[in-house]
Amino acid sequence: MIPSSASKTTGRREAAASFWLLTHQLSQRSEAERLTNIQAGFAPRWIRAVREALALGPRQMEALFNASISTLERRQRQQQSLDLVASERLDRVAMIASHALQVFATPERAGQWLVARNTSFGGRTPLQLCETGLGTTQVHRALVELECASANAL
């Protein structure tokens, strides 16, 4: 039986919602707990969750997870945890996404900001900068500036 379009849409929405829930849960953990999660490897459900929440294409997924689409699909099928590099990047993305959600108030607006090219990042997206620790620091700094600007506007 082929899934209906409505059930596919519902599945995508559920996967996207799970990304924001997982992100919130991760942001509540200590650095030691996060490090343990990274070393153990994140669960493969994160692959679909981040793809659906941020509407990422194959190239974006490959860059984010530092793995080919076929490798990511295999990990999901075989329920294999993500490797250390992918898990560390995902931790960075989750922490940035959580911060962006605080700043932008809705998952939709936070997600749009994460994947939009930004001139202050040299035309790159905040998500792309999460490939490195230094880039992630720049994104956090930009979010703090947005928070301050928003607070001053009140």
Q: What is the CA radius of gyration of the chain?
A: 16
Strand partners, 118: 124
* pLDDT at residue 32 tops 60: yes
Instruction: Please give the C-alpha separations between residue 35 and each of 29, 43, 50, 91, 112, in angstroms, as whole numbers.
Output: 10, 14, 20, 9, 28
Predicted structure pTM score: 0.87
Average predicted confidence (pLDDT) for the chain:
91
* pLDDT at residue 2 tops 60: no
Say if CB 139 and CB 129 are below 8 A apart.
yes
Strand partners, 124: 118
What is the rounded average pLDDT of the residues 8-17? Answer: 79
What is the rounded average pLDDT of the residues 98-114? Answer: 96
pLDDT, residue 1, reads 47
CA distance 154 to 46: 36
List the chain domain ranges. 5-153
* pLDDT at residue 154 tops 70: no
pLDDT digits (tens, 9 = 90+) for 38-82: 999 999 999 999 999 999 999 999 999 999 999 999 999 999 999
Which amino acid is it at 83? D
